[in-house]
Chains A and B, each alone.
Chain A
Amino acid sequence: MQTNLAPARPRTLQERILRGRWIGKILLILLLGYAAWAIGRQAVESPALFAEQVKNGLQLGFVYAMIALGYTMVYGIVRLINFAHGDVFMVGAFVSYFAISRVELHRWLASLAPGLPEGLTLLVGTLTVIILSMITCAFLAVIIERVAYKPLRTAPRISALITAIGVSFFLEYFGALDFVFSPDFITYPRPFPVQVWYIKDGIHPLVPGSEAPAGSVLFSNIFIIIALSSIFLLVLLNFIVRRTRVGKAMRAVAYDKPTARLMGINVDGIISVTFAIGAALAGAGGVLYAIAFPSIVFWMGVIPGLKAFVAAVLGGIGSIPGAFLGAMIMGQAETLSAGYISTPMRDAIAFTILILVLLVRPTGILGEIEREKA
């Protein structure tokens, strides 16, 4: 609609309304105003509860970010909405469950060197469990990519999408079989004991079994480990994508596949690496999610997967900072709308936000305007 000609100055009221897109803006302002009023009113009443909600939102946002990055990277490179990604996340959680409950992998250092302090051995053990899940998920994703997606690379995109749905179904319902993950909810054994602190005039540890004083903000070592490990992995990812040869190749393949191939880049290899990195992040996300919400089941990946996907779209699919931003928005939107507006409607609110953002910015918040590619 935009031309290079300078538009004439708006004269009438009607022109002003139209040019300023005022009707739509008023609609949005009313909506935002309502949300701000609903949240703000109660936030002023009890700031501690509000801080608690924001913290929960951050925790959720970090986990969503880990999943969203896999979606966004795969989409950026092969333009495929990899619906199986949420189920890779689920597999990550289950791998860590088996590692902890069957092998007691989180205690390996304690059994090798009994003299070390327990906190250190459990920390190392937890990290080992996360890394194991990441590696397993990476292998799984590469196998999926080779078997299911690679043969369809030249087929219409819808075929690959249907295949992704098929893979997702397969992972879920194969996992639901009795001898695999079983169809029931499983209580997840956390690899470390939970320690809670409360903030009120400084940080104090909360003695188990006692109540925190009113008006204090609680946080636990679960929050710390989720925040630290996801920030570390995100920084690592950013480093890989921006500073290494593989990352450069990934960006080149995302930008223009045929030319990248002409430049001597192993395109298929790079696509596999992308799937592997994305799945590794999802696997780590799965472990962290299970630690935060310790009940796992074969379909647990569907909803977080979907939310993370929405987050990726919200931030602009294909953009890594966008996925992170989108995930943070989704996390906050979910906890704040559950806490202050309406719990059963929180998914509807999340998707309404998505649709509204797409209407205002059709390619997401940080997304580039789509170029026509040959």
Chain B
Amino acid sequence: MARKVNRSSVLFFGGALLLFAVIQTLISVGILTDYYSNILRIGAVMAIVSLGLNLIYGFNGQFSLGQWGFYAIGAYAAADLTYRWSKLHTANGVTVLLMVALFVGLALWGLGRLLSRVRGLDILSAFGLYLVAVAAATYLGVRVGGTLAEPVTGLLNALPPKLASQLVFFFAVLLAGVVAAEVAYLFGLPVLTLGSDYFGIATLGFTIIVKVLLDNSDTMFGFEEMKGARGMIGIPRETTWFWVFLFLMLVVVVTRNLLHSSEGRAVISVREDEIAAKAMGIDVARYKNLAFVLGSLFAGLAGALYAHINGFLHPDNFNFIRSFDPMIIIVFGGLGSVTGTIAAAFGWAILLEGVLRLFLPAGFETWRFVVYPLLLLIMMLLRPAGLLGSFELPFLKRVLPPLKASTPGAAEAKGGPA
């Protein structure tokens, strides 16, 4: 089937390229100083995390506070790989994580196939089996990856150093996303069966557990370079505007294409009415898992990019209270709105990192976090449906109406998989 090139996608990609080129030129010329480009990069990273959360909460209706935990996993995973390459001059991080991700992925997939034939397996039992399989796969991955480290390091050393470090960075970001997604799959398997608020609380617990583990990463798990609660330093600052823009576009296009497919309609139907969706023959558990895993993958990517912006990570950045930041962004952007989420993410970064840092009068610097919640409250009271409401760029226009709490039962996913 020949792909029709329609006007809206030409406009969208053209506009995006233009935007990228303009900002890139401004950065190269030096009009946008490091400080401002930092804000833009953080905005883009927040946009990626929030798009992931929007997929989970906005489109699939699962109230997740775990996004920040997956973000943390991505950040630390990627930072460790690039740190090992740039400071310890070994690619063992990349090979080990690659192998672990591969074997764990295979184990999850294989066990999933196997267990789908067993009827009447309860969640906890299934989870136990998965846990054992994942542990075995991780062990295997570490062993195989360890033996591959030497040759791969040699191979990468043969390349020009700049290219090699960019390559390592690219793989680190991708692997971070994959690892976050696999953890999400494993964790989501039992937890996604909980009711909405309880799911939120369990995922909040996940974020806190991740933070505690990171606090003790050096003393209890032997990751010396992560330095536990003292904060990890010396991560190469590889995240350029090009990389964040590339990944943001990737995430936007994936989200958009997903939502325009029958799978996406199935995801949305779960949000609208779970029981009705089930009655239409939609595998509710599968689509909850799909959205959760994909959203967490985005969080992992974003975390990896974030780690390489400042070259510094601290477990306090991944405090549970910050896990509300993406939630705030998607609510302001309008739940289930892609354009709104991106706009709100950049707005949030500009407001919090830019305006409130620069324009508070002298002596009032500590008022930053007093003004921020006040703005939050005023905004929430005045525009509870989000800043942009239901505005959406034509390219991203949904096939289904946006989330409306007052219209339950609008399960229109007739195109769901039979």
Q: Which 7 A-B pairs have the closest CB atoms?
A: A24-B124, A23-B125, A351-B205, A173-B369, A169-B373, A166-B376, A24-B125
Residue among B63, B126, B373 making CB contact with A170, cutoff 8 Å: B373
Interface-side segment among A103-111, A150-158, A211-219, A250-258? A150-158
A102 within 8 A of B: no
Q: What is the CA–CA distance of A317 and B197 in the complex, to the nearest angstrom?
A: 10
Given A167-B373, A174-B370, does the pair A313, B201 have CB atoms closer than 8 Å?
A: yes
Q: Looking at the assembled complex, report how far the CB atom of A50 sits from the nearest CB atom of chain B, in whole angstroms.
A: 24
B405 and A156: CB pair below 8 A? yes
Interface-side segment among A112-120, A326-334, A355-363? A355-363
Among A150-188, those with CB < 8 Å from B are 151-152, 155-156, 158-159, 161-163, 165-170, 172-174, 176-178, 183
Interface residues of B (CB under 8 A from A): 63, 118-129, 131, 190-191, 193-195, 197-198, 200-202, 205-206, 208-209, 212-213, 215-216, 219-220, 320-321, 324, 327-328, 331, 335, 366-370, 372-374, 376-377, 380-381, 384, 405
- Chain B positions within 8 Å of A176 at CB level: 366, 369
A358 and B380: CB pair below 8 A? no
Residue among B197, B212, B405 making CB contact with A347, cutoff 8 Å: B212
Closest to A19 in B: B120
- Chain B positions within 8 Å of A51 at CB level: none
- Chain A positions within 8 Å of B209 at CB level: 347-348, 351-352
- Chain A positions within 8 Å of B376 at CB level: 162-163, 165-166, 169
Residue among A24, A169, A352 making CB contact with B127, cutoff 8 Å: A24
B195 and A363: CB pair below 8 A? yes
Given A23-B125, A310-B205, A347-B212, does the pair A163, B380 have CB atoms closer than 8 Å?
A: yes
A135 within 8 A of B: no
B377 and A163: CB pair below 8 A? yes
Q: Looking at the assembled complex, report how far the CB atom of B117 sits from the nearest CB atom of chain A, in whole angstroms.
A: 11
A45 within 8 A of B: no
Closest to A312 in B: B201
Closest to B210 in A: A348
Residue among A81, A163, A178, A358 making CB contact with B202, cutoff 8 Å: A358
A360 and B201: CB pair below 8 A? no
Extra 18 A-B pairs, beta carbons < 8 Å, given A23-B128, A354-B205: A18-B119, A21-B122, A24-B123, A27-B128, A148-B381, A152-B381, A161-B327, A162-B327, A165-B373, A166-B373, A166-B374, A166-B377, A310-B205, A347-B208, A358-B191, A358-B194, A359-B124, A362-B194
Pick 8 A–B contacts, CB within 8 A, sort by A.
Answer: A27-B125, A152-B380, A155-B384, A162-B324, A169-B373, A351-B205, A358-B201, A359-B194
Residue among B127, B191, B331, B366 making CB contact with A183, cutoff 8 Å: B366
Residue among B129, B212, B321, B331 making CB contact with A345, cutoff 8 Å: B212
- Chain A positions within 8 Å of B216 at CB level: 344-345
A306 and B369: CB pair below 8 A? no
Q: Looking at the assembled complex, report how far the CB atom of A164 sits from the nearest CB atom of chain B, in whole angstroms.
A: 10
Closest to A158 in B: B331
Closest to B320 in A: A306
Residue among B121, B123, B195, B366 making CB contact with A18, cutoff 8 Å: B121
Among A1-56, those with CB < 8 Å from B are 1, 18-19, 21-28
- Chain B positions within 8 Å of A359 at CB level: 123-124, 127, 190-191, 194
Q: What is the CA–CA distance of A153 and B216 in the complex, to the nearest angstrom?
A: 42
Q: What is the CA–CA distance of A221 and B208 in the complex, to the nearest angstrom?
A: 34
